[in-house]
A and B are shown apart, each in its own frame.
Chain A
Amino acid sequence: SGENKETWEFKLVKGESGRQALDELRQEREHMDHSCTLSAWTSWRLKRKLIMGLLSRKVTCNSHGQDSSYFLGWQEYEKNPYHEVNNPQGIIQMGLAENQLSFDLPESWLAKNADAAGFKRDGQSIFQELALFQDYHGLPAFKKALVDFMAEIRGNKVTFDPNHIVLTAGATSANETLMFCLAEQGDAFLLPTPYYPGFDRDLKWRTGVEIVPIQCTSSNRFQITAPALEEAYQQAQRKNLRVKGVLVTNPSNPLGTTMRRDELDLLINFITDKEIHLISDEIYSGTVFSSPGFVSIMEVLKDRSLEQTPVWERVHIVYSLSKDLGLPGFRYLLSAMLSDKKFTKEYMAKNHKRLQKQQSKLVSGLEKAGIGCLESNAGLFCWVDMRHLLSSNTFEAEMELWKRIVYDVKLNISPGSSCHCSEPGWFRVCFANISEDTLKLAMQRLKSFVDSVAINNQSHQELKNSRKKCRTKWVFRLSFQSFHDREQDER
Chain B
Amino acid sequence: MLSSKASSNCHGQDSLYFLGWQVYEKNPFHEVENPTGIIQMGLAENQLSFDLVESWLRKNPDVMGLKNKDGESVFRDLALFQDYHGMPAFKNELVEYMAKIRGNKVKFDPNNLVLAAGATSANETLIFCLADPGDAILLPTPSYAGFDRDLKWRTGVEIVPIHCSSSNGFRISMFALEEAYERAQKLNLKVKGVLITNPSNPLGTTMTKDELQSLITFAIDKDIHLISDEVFSGTVFDSPCFISIMEAAMDSNLKRNTDVLSRIHIVYSLSKDLGLPGFRVGMIYSNNQTVVSAATKMSSFGLVSSQTQYLLSYMLANKKFTSNYMKRNQKRLKKRKEMLVSGLKKSGINCLKSNAGLFCWVDMRHLLCSNTFEAETDLWKKILCEVGLNISPGSSFHCSQPGWFRVCFANMNQSTLQVALRRIKDFVERSSFNYQQNGGSLSRKLISNWVRKLSSADREEQER
Contact = CB atoms under 8 A, between A and B. Distances in A.
Interface of A: 9-10, 12-13, 15-19, 21, 49-50, 53-60, 64, 66, 98, 100, 103, 106-107, 110, 114, 117-119, 125, 127-128, 130-134, 169-170, 172-173, 176, 180-185, 187, 201-202, 205-206, 314, 322, 326-330
B307 A330 contact: yes
Contact of A180 (B3, B47, B258, B294): B3
A132 B3 contact: no
Contact of B45 (A54, A132, A184): A132
The dominant DSSP class at the B interface is: helix
B73 interface: yes
A118 B65 contact: yes
28 contacts: A10-B258, A12-B259, A13-B261, A15-B112, A15-B289, A50-B259, A53-B223, A54-B130, A54-B262, A54-B263, A56-B129, A59-B293, A100-B80, A117-B66, A128-B50, A128-B54, A130-B278, A134-B271, A169-B301, A173-B300, A173-B302, A181-B6, A182-B6, A201-B297, A202-B301, A205-B298, A206-B298, A328-B82
B132 interface: yes
B293 A19 contact: yes
Contact of A131 (B65, B73, B275, B287): B275
A132 B278 contact: yes
Given A59-B291, A100-B80, A328 B307 contact: yes
B305 A131 contact: no
Report the contact-size class of chain B (Cβ under 8 Å from the partner).
35 or more
Contacts of B283: none
A18 B307 contact: no
B259 A13 contact: yes
Contacts of A132: 45, 47, 275, 277-278
Contact of B2 (A106, A182, A326): A182
Closest 10 CB pairs of A and B: A18-B290, A59-B294, A181-B6, A133-B278, A134-B277, A173-B301, A131-B276, A131-B278, A169-B302, A15-B289
Contacts of A328: 78-79, 81-82, 303, 305-307
A213 B122 CA distance: 33
Contact of A170 (B45, B81, B154, B303): B303
B54 A172 contact: no
A17 B79 contact: no
Given A134-B278, A180-B6, A169 B75 contact: no
Nearest to B287: A15
A12 B300 CA distance: 25
Given A128-B50, A170-B303, A56 B131 contact: yes
Contact of B75 (A56, A103, A114): A103
Nearest to B301: A173
A244 to B, nearest CB: 8
A131 B259 contact: no
Contacts of B223: 49-50, 53-54
Contacts of B71: none
A66 B2 CA distance: 29
Contacts of B3: 180-184, 187
Interface in B296-355: 297-298, 300-303, 305-308
B117 interface: yes
B53 interface: yes
Contacts of A173: 300-302
Contacts of A50: 223, 259
Contact of B154 (A12, A16, A206, A314): A206
B80 A55 contact: no
Contacts of A103: 75-76, 79
A185 B64 contact: no
Contacts, number: 172
A330 B305 contact: yes
A50 B290 CA distance: 13
Nearest to B6: A181
A134 B225 CA distance: 30
A133 B129 CA distance: 29
Contacts of B128: 56, 58, 206
A59 B129 contact: yes
Given A132-B278, A180-B6, A58 B294 contact: yes
Interface string B7-49: 0000000000000000000000000000000000000010100
The dominant DSSP class at the A interface is: helix
B430 interface: no
Contacts of B65: 110, 114, 117-118
A322 B128 CA distance: 27
Contacts of B4: 184
Contact of B288 (A10, A54, A98, A184): A54
B103 interface: no
Contacts of A66: 297
A60 B131 CA distance: 11
Nearest to B117: A169
B91 interface: no
Contacts of A181: 2-3, 5-6
Contact of A55 (B2, B54, B130): B130
Nearest to B84: A172
Given A16-B289, A131-B279, 8 more contacts: A12-B262, A13-B287, A103-B75, A131-B276, A134-B277, A185-B156, A329-B79, A330-B308
B57 interface: yes
A57 B54 CA distance: 45
B136 to A, nearest CB: 13
A205 B275 CA distance: 33
A58 B135 CA distance: 13
A10 B257 CA distance: 11
Nearest to A120: B64
A131, A169, A205, most chain B CB atoms within 10 A: A131
A136 to B, nearest CB: 10
A98 B258 contact: no
B280 interface: yes
Contacts of B117: 169
B2, B4, B225, B307, most chain A CB atoms within 10 A: B2
B278 A185 contact: no
Given A128-B50, A182-B6, A117 B64 contact: yes
B325 to A, nearest CB: 14
B258 A9 contact: yes
B133 interface: yes
Contacts of B258: 9-10, 13
B79 A18 contact: no
Contacts of A131: 50, 53, 275-279
Contacts of B73: 107
B307 A180 contact: no
Contacts of A314: 1
A130, A172, A328, most chain B CB atoms within 10 A: A328
